[in-house]
Amino acid sequence: MGFGGIRTARELAGKGFDVTLVDRNNYHLFQPLLYQVATAGLEQESIAYPVRAMARGWAGTRFHLAEVTGIDFDAREVRTNNGTIPYDYLVVGAGSVTNYFGLESVERHAFDLKELVDGERLRNHVLTAFERAVVEPDPAKRRALMTFVIVGGGPTGVEFAGALIELVRFVLAKDYPELSVQTARVVLVEAFDRLLAAMEPPLQVYTLEKLRSMGVEVLLNARVVDAGPERVVLHDGAVIPAHTLFWSAGVKAAPLAAALGAAPRPGGRIPVEPDLTLPGHPEVLVIGDMAYLEQDGAPLPMVAPVAMQMGIYAGSSILARERGGSLPPFRYRDKGSMATIGRSAAVASAFGMKFRGYAAWVIWLLLHLYYLIGFRNRIVVMLNWIWYYWFHERQVRLITERERAGGQ
Amino acid sequence: MGFGGIRTARELAGKGFDVTLVDRNNYHLFQPLLYQVATAGLEQESIAYPVRAMARGWAGTRFHLAEVTGIDFDAREVRTNNGTIPYDYLVVGAGSVTNYFGLESVERHAFDLKELVDGERLRNHVLTAFERAVVEPDPAKRRALMTFVIVGGGPTGVEFAGALIELVRFVLAKDYPELSVQTARVVLVEAFDRLLAAMEPPLQVYTLEKLRSMGVEVLLNARVVDAGPERVVLHDGAVIPAHTLFWSAGVKAAPLAAALGAAPRPGGRIPVEPDLTLPGHPEVLVIGDMAYLEQDGAPLPMVAPVAMQMGIYAGSSILARERGGSLPPFRYRDKGSMATIGRSAAVASAFGMKFRGYAAWVIWLLLHLYYLIGFRNRIVVMLNWIWYYWFHERQVRLITERERAGGQ
């Protein structure tokens, strides 16, 4: 369940409806912290929360573990790999997947962070790269094993770059005394001329300077056009020998969007009416990253706060309609955005103000703890953060799935 | 790294030796708590600790991530899938694997708990069984999905059976209001006429009565002889329709034992001299489950305390020999054994005394926290236990890897 769906369900719970939640995972994933799983800072279990644990307190709500394979609008049924579910109202919020913009070689070799398993997979890959570097006699190959290229200067790219260079310089440097860990490279590639395009210019400048001072090589106005297992090729033909490529340069609507039968916008998003219904199907609402809706002349961004507000609106809207009324059109209230860069360093625009450095970092911490679901999860995450802050230590440095460690 | 190897390394650290630790995993796994990962009580990261984090403080020690493929005694080299490592002394303690005693159908269908990934895999299987039961219309199939057969009445079987029935009755009963969870069956099958054969009779009787009062069906003098995906067959031809079979009825030395070139004892263990050296190879020491050594007329058991004491002895012995001396023969000091049955219920024989119930349970908790490596791990584990004790809640109810949820 995503950010939108769980809020729709919460709105409808205990109001006399039969609500069925359908998801192919039995948990809600708090995606914004997935990069901390990938950088050995958090265990994956602390950023996921079982749907059934939430639904326990929601009267009239049940959960159905299944992958949706199609929608029959005439019969008003959702088809899944695990049975068919009839509906009176249908709320679709299947989120987004990574958009490689047709770059097949990049898609084949790059890592991304969308699903829970992606965090663990990327952590295993990063740590295995260092284990392989230890036994690699060729200095050029060793350097490539310790080179990490991150594409996309949005919040995910910035946060992952900062967390990764801190992992390397503060933690792995102590783990691998036999390596010159300071020669490891973290390269952040951004197509635009600035990082965090959605933020105010002073925060963009702060982010760029902070990342560079931490040792991240930031390449602006640069694009990745090709990739192999041990190299990344830029638009100008420059080749970066690198064993790891991380892609956060774009998302597109989840494939389920195609089942909605509407002509999609770029990115596969489905245009919706101002009340979030699917044109011609007032009983179907589309929320979150899948929905395309313009506000004040620009499409709403594909971010969690939009999904959350749409989810609440969808629930209230159904409730209002069943009571014979209706809601005014959906309107997104932008409460600001933020990104953490490193220890005691973040940028945030919130409450109409700009924050950076320590203050922004504290706001970031508190808001992420607040939005994380599950009291135990909050405590475990806080504990990990305190640990890292005090001891400069990240304990989840486990290679839990074996890549071929030898590599020869 | 197992219980033995890390203690050998700790003994030798900072004494002027070059110590190389070789393991195919980059962590030490605290196997005794793996059953709590399988029953959604602990996250896997909290019972594993990175070898490099330990080795940081051990002067002269390095880590080599590799799978050992052979030993060349003449050249004094260990061959791995990732290079060759020369040695002056070699300490081998590769532990044990599950022994299915040639029962191929059982090996194919049963789960065990030896590796870190086994805990998560079994948890996913158990939770998926309940998700499938929810949508299963056939009552007989639904019952089989909710039937769990556990083979082996030793500590692992007893602890898993107790933790599983508590998961089902206290936690999953709330998660699955649509199921009659109380009809779920946990069947413990033991070939002998009593549980926990190594314990004193009063503790065996307490364990049997406690498990039965919790709802576990205990079958004594019974053996599993065949298994299929949805059934388990006993020695008398009785068939238990069951979707899950867990096997903890035996272990045997890890396959690496064959590389030691000695005639193995039953269970594949390698006979060693009283100083733990391999006969004919005084520079090679064998420790832990792989080593076969008799004491007072009986072979030492394949348990963690033996491995730990052998590991310390191996380190001290090498140290003594390098200083021109020698140690008296290895002698295992049995400090007792214990098993937890459920909430506030355990059995322990320690310090020459017998404990059961709440007192034994507190001793069990404290000793497991003490032997767990890593301060953060201890806190996270304690937090999970407090949570469970207070709220009757286990939060790691995540299906992290998708089995075919449909099953049709």
Strand ranges for A76-133 from DSSP E: 77-80, 83-86, 90-92, 96-98
Point out the least confidently predicted range of A3-7, A334-338, B69-73: A334-338
* B4 closest CA partner among B378, B365, B302: B302
A117 → closest Cβ in B56, B400, B407: B400
* pLDDT for position B395: 81
To test the contact with chain A by mutation, choose from B138, B400, B408 the residue with the greatest count of A C-beta atoms within 10 A, namely B400
Report ipTM (2 d.p.): 0.93
Position A63 pLDDT exceeds 70 = yes
What are B97-124's pLDDT values in tens digits? 999 999 999 999 999 999 999 999 999 9
What are A277-325's pLDDT values in tens digits? 999 999 999 999 999 999 999 999 999 999 999 999 999 999 999 999 9
Token code pair at residue A114: 């969308």
H or E segment to which residue B234 belongs: strand B231-234
* pLDDT for position A393: 83
What are A359-381's pLDDT values in tens digits? 999 999 999 999 998 888 999 99
B43 → closest Cβ in A43, A383, A402: A43
Higher-pLDDT residue of A345, A352: A345
What are B200-242's pLDDT values in tens digits? 999 999 999 999 999 999 999 999 999 999 999 999 999 999 9
Beta bridge partners of A187: A149, A217
Position B404 pLDDT exceeds 90 = no
Strand ranges for A303-368 from DSSP E: 336-342, 345-350, 353-357
pLDDT over 90, % of chain A? 90
Point out the least confidently predicted range of A197-206, A244-253, B20-29, B342-351: B342-351
Q: What is the 3-state secondary structure (H, E, C) of B287-343?
A: CHHHEECEECCEECCCCHHHHHHHHHHHHHHHHHHHCCCCCCCCCCCCCEEEEEEEC
A390: exposed, middle or buried (Cβ count in 10 Å: 0-12, 13-18, 19+): exposed
- Could you give the CA distance from residue A155 to residue A349 in angstroms, rounded to a whole number? 13
Is there a contact between B398 and A374 if contact means CB atoms under 8 Å apart?
Answer: no
Q: In the structure, what pLDDT confidence band is assigned to residue A225 with cuts at 50, 70 and 90?
A: very high
Do the Cβ atoms of B163 and B39 come closer than 8 Å?
yes
Judged by a CB distance cut-off of 8 A, whether residue B396 touches chain A is yes
- Whole-angstrom CA distances from B361 to A2, B195, B205, B342 are 40, 18, 16, 8
* Interval A145-155 mean pLDDT: 98
* pLDDT for position A395: 81
Statement: A104-249+336-391 belongs to CATH 3.50.50.100: yes
CATH of B104-249, one of 3.40.50.1820, 3.50.50.100, 2.40.50.430, 3.30.1360.40: 3.50.50.100
Residues in chain A closer than 8 A to B24 (CB atoms): 402, 405
**In sequence order, which ranges of B86-220 are alpha helices (DSSP H)?**
104-109, 116-134, 139-145, 155-166, 173-175, 201-214
Do the Cβ atoms of A40 and B42 come closer than 8 Å?
no
Q: Is the dihedral of CA A103, A164, A358, A335 positive or negative?
A: positive
φ, ψ of residue B69 in degrees (nearest 5): -110, -20
Is there a contact between B44 and A400 if contact means CB atoms under 8 Å apart?
Answer: yes
Position B301 pLDDT exceeds 70 = yes
- Could you give the CA distance from residue A186 to residue A213 in angstroms, rounded to a whole number? 12
The SS3 assignment for A172 reads helix
pLDDT over 90, % of chain B? 90
Do the Cβ atoms of A380 and B383 come closer than 8 Å?
yes
* pLDDT for position B408: 29
Q: In the structure, what pLDDT confidence band is assigned to residue A402 with cuts at 50, 70 and 90?
A: low
CA A354 to mean position of chain CA atoms: 23
Residue range(s) in chain B whose domain bears CATH number 3.50.50.100 = 104-249
| CATH C-level class of A3-24+66-98+251-322 | alpha beta
A175 → closest Cβ in B52, B80, B81: B52
Do the Cβ atoms of A356 and A337 come closer than 8 Å?
no
Point out the least confidently predicted range of A238-242, B254-258, B392-396: B392-396
Position A406 pLDDT exceeds 50 = no
- Could you give the CA distance from residue B70 to residue A139 in angstroms, rounded to a whole number? 28
* pLDDT for position B407: 34
- Whole-angstrom CA distances from A80 to A71, A125, A260, A311, B133 are 9, 33, 15, 22, 16
* B11 closest CA partner among B227, B318, B244: B318
B89: exposed, middle or buried (Cβ count in 10 Å: 0-12, 13-18, 19+): buried
Residue range(s) in chain B whose domain bears CATH number 3.50.50.60 = 3-98+251-322
The SS3 assignment for B24 reads coil
Judged by a CB distance cut-off of 8 A, whether residue B175 touches chain A is yes
Q: What is the 3-state secondary structure (H, E, C) of B253-276?
A: ECHHHHHHCCCCCHHHCEECCCCC
Residue range(s) in chain A whose domain bears CATH number 3.50.50.100 = 104-249+336-391
Radius of gyration of chain A (CA): 22
To test the contact with chain B by mutation, choose from A47, A64, A398, A403 the residue with the greatest count of B C-beta atoms within 10 A, namely A398
Residue range(s) in chain A whose domain bears CATH number 3.50.50.60 = 3-24+66-98+251-322
* B38 closest CA partner among B173, B102, B129: B129
Radius of gyration of chain B (CA): 22
In CATH, the architecture of B3-98+251-322 is 3-Layer(bba) Sandwich (3.50)
Is there a contact between B81 and A405 if contact means CB atoms under 8 Å apart?
Answer: yes
Token code pair at residue B96: 């044990």
Chain B, residues 376-395, CB within 8 A of chain A, namely 376-377, 379-380, 383-384, 387, 393, 395
Point out the least confidently predicted range of A77-81, A213-217, A375-379, B245-249: A375-379
Half-sphere exposure of A247 (CA within 13 A, CB side): 23
- Could you give the CA distance from residue B399 to residue B405 in angstroms, rounded to a whole number? 10
